[in-house]
Amino acid sequence: MNLGLSKTMLKTLARKGFETATPIQSSVIPFLLNDENDLVAQAETGTGKTAAFGIPIIESLDPRDKEVGALILVPTRELALQVAGEIESLTGSRSLQVLPVYGGQAFGPQFKGLKQGADIVVGTPGRILDHLRRGSLCLEHLSYLVLDEADQMLDMGFIEDIKTILSHAPQERRTLLFSATMPAAVITIARKHMRGYKTIAMNTRPQAVQLTEQIYFEVRDQDKFEALCRVIDMEPEFFGLVFCRTRIDTAEIASRLIHRGYAADGIHGDISQIDREKIMRGFREKRITILVATDVAARGLDISNLTHVINYDMPQDTDAYIHRIGRTGRAGKKGIAISFVTSKERRFLETVKRTAGASMRRGHIPGVGEVIAAKRARIRVNIEQAVTDEKTGLYADLAAELLEKGNADKVLAACMRLAFADELDTSSYGEIRQINPVESKSRTKLFIARGRKHGITPPKLVKLIKGQTGVSEHLITDIKIFDDFSYLSVPFAEAAIIQKKFQHKRGRPIVGKANSEKGQPPHRKSGQGKDRKISGMNKTNQGRRAAG
């Protein structure tokens, strides 16, 4: 990793273990070091963008000025602390002062830090604006103004605060805008407040999707919690985020997990800043391994090595889905994203499948027997590993005494019961009614303008549909073959796929939606009296016409 950096910075990066630059770093760092224009960069959290803008800023600022040379705006308190910590770790031997400034913290320490001289200030818009109004923060000598996670800041209603802050900054500053998405509001900020900016777009979505295995479980609302527990218990080392839709659900699910013995906690809008920081510290240190959160509360979180992201409730849109699952599967490590889908969310699931850029597979909720078997296997491995541990020698004499007085099987079983309590107790799990994939979606009856006269049979029709569209044979039901036409039923989304595949600009469509539950064929439009050859449909008895 060179990129035109100073020897001092290269040494700092080497000490941090940086060997290869990420794509966003390879593009942004040389530009900021060798160009003077503003920058708009599209990159998601977890791609190394903090170092991408932080390293050039550190290289450029003079630590002797003791004036605020760089202001970095972020959407949340959590992200302010993360970004400040990351940049401070990059300063190395340079005596640059980095100060996080955010709401929920007393003004006193912030006043003191600003008065003593902060070279780089990382803060949330509201608190930065407070300091500007109080006169405790001066941007007169500002060289860099960074808008990090710009789309999230605008989503959270900071647009007016950001405009006011920009008005306090000198015109000759350099503005850097980073955003995962580029909605109109972000583009407007760039056009109105940035000068001759260059745009760098990182195609980070496929990377996140590529490294994340996406699974969905079709489940009833009342079975979600039980399904969540089984998913967690199947994993040897679960470390993940569980997303809920509301604050109430977040608090309830976290409480139920804690009550059931999991190392869990929850964050939402009603959590105080002190409690939030305490919870997040526990999560980073893995004393908490399951964090339940709302989308708003999780904004700005950048936790490494998450094994799972669980969509306990599906998000409101596909962008939110991508943001959620992008928190795992990073830095070359595989991650798993699991979504619980109820009947009312099935159509949204199909939208996600089409836009997520990767195959989502339907998962099987583990049965109680599978969960217990997984636990037994882990207990066996733990004990076998402990046998080779020299520390077991501390208990060797006691073990010999116990074995002299009792049956070895009973002694070992008693020890395991004391060590693992009710881990293998099947009664701790409730029942889950598995949903048949065929029954799980609203059905659509389709009319097929081919029948017995055309050599159509149920197996041939199923094979043809699957071959042409990829729709699974298990989803095709209620097949009825008549002389001149046929009917079949498929889920709503698959019906659209089949119709699209067999649609033609001219002539009567071979496949159409039946006009009623009784399965009447679709009405013929004027001038559409001739059938067209469809790939695979006319291979048998091509000269005959459907009469339906």
Stated as kind and residue range, the H or E segment containing 40 is strand 39-42
Query: Do residues 394 and 526 share a domain?
Result: no
Longest dimension (CA), the chain: 96
Least confident window among 186-200, 435-449, 527-541: 527-541
Domain boundary, last residue among 347, 366, 385: 366
Q: Which residues of 368-400 are buried (b: 16+ CB within 10 A; e: fewer)?
A: beebbebbeebeeeeeeeeeeeeeeeeeeeeee
Q: What is the pLDDT of residue 30?
A: 94
Per-residue tokens: 531: 């059938």
Query: Do residues 362 and 393 share a domain?
Result: no
Q: Is residue 1 part of a domain?
A: no
Query: Do residues 16 and 95 share a domain?
Result: yes
- Is residue 304 within 8 Å of 330, Cβ to Cβ? yes
DSSP 93-118: TS---EEEE-TTS-HHHHHHHHHH--
Query: Do residues 235 and 272 share a domain?
Result: yes
268-302 confidence digits (pLDDT tens): 878 887 888 899 889 989 999 999 999 877 776 76
CATH number at residue 451: 3.30.70.330
Query: Do residues 227 and 342 share a domain?
Result: yes
* pLDDT tops 80 at residue 393: no
> Would you give the DSSP letter of residue 21?
-
Query: Do residues 213 and 275 share a domain?
Result: yes
What percentage of the chain has pLDDT greater than the value 90?
Answer: 39
Q: What is the pLDDT of residue 54?
A: 96
Q: Which segment, 113-127, 333-347, 412-426, is predicted with the most confidence on average?
A: 113-127
Query: Do residues 334 and 404 share a domain?
Result: no
Cα–Cα dist 486/315, whole Å: 39
Q: Is residue 2 part of a domain?
A: no
Predicted TM-score (pTM) of the model is 0.55
Report residue 315: phi and psi, to 5°. Answer: -70, 180
Please state, in angstroms and as integers, the Cα–Cα distance from residue 545 to each residue in 219, 525, 532, following that order. Answer: 45, 17, 10
Q: What is the pLDDT of residue 71?
A: 98
User: Which one has a higher pLDDT value, 242 or 353?
Assistant: 242
DSSP 130-153: HHHHHTS---TT--EEEETTHHHH
Q: Is residue 35 part of a domain?
A: yes
User: Alpha helix (H) ranges present in 421-535?
Assistant: 458-469, 492-501
480-514 confidence digits (pLDDT tens): 889 889 999 888 778 888 888 887 645 667 888 87
Query: Do residues 395 and 483 share a domain?
Result: no
Q: What is the pLDDT of residue 548?
A: 34
Q: What is the pLDDT of residue 514?
A: 79
* pLDDT tops 50 at residue 525: no
pLDDT tier at 121 (50, 70, 90 boundaries)?
very high
Query: Do residues 471 and 497 share a domain?
Result: yes
Q: Which residues of 522-534 are buried (b: 16+ CB within 10 A; e: fewer)?
A: beeeeeeeebeeb
What percentage of the chain has pLDDT greater than the value 70?
Answer: 85
Query: Do residues 240 and 358 share a domain?
Result: yes
Q: Is residue 197 part of a domain?
A: yes
Q: What is the pLDDT of residue 539?
A: 44
Query: Do residues 262 and 400 share a domain?
Result: no
Stated as kind and residue range, the H or E segment containing 255 is helix 247-259
Task: State how far Cα 155 lies from the chain centre.
Answer: 18
What is the mean pLDDT of the segment spanning 227-243? 93
Range of the domain at 413: 373-428
Domain boundary, last residue among 202, 220, 241: 202
Cα–Cα dist 189/90, whole Å: 29
User: Which one has a higher pLDDT value, 58 or 438?
Assistant: 58
* Alpha carbons within 13 A on the beta-carbon side of 198: 11
Q: Which segment, 75-79, 339-343, 521-525, is predicted with the most confidence on average?
A: 339-343
CATH number at residue 15: 3.40.50.300
Task: State how far Cα 205 lies from the chain centre.
Answer: 10
* pLDDT tops 50 at residue 533: no
Per-residue tokens: 371: 């969960």
pLDDT tier at 45 (50, 70, 90 boundaries)?
low
Number of domains into which the chain is organized: 4
Whole-number mean pLDDT of the chain?
83
* pLDDT tops 90 at residue 114: yes
Q: What is the pLDDT of residue 210?
A: 59
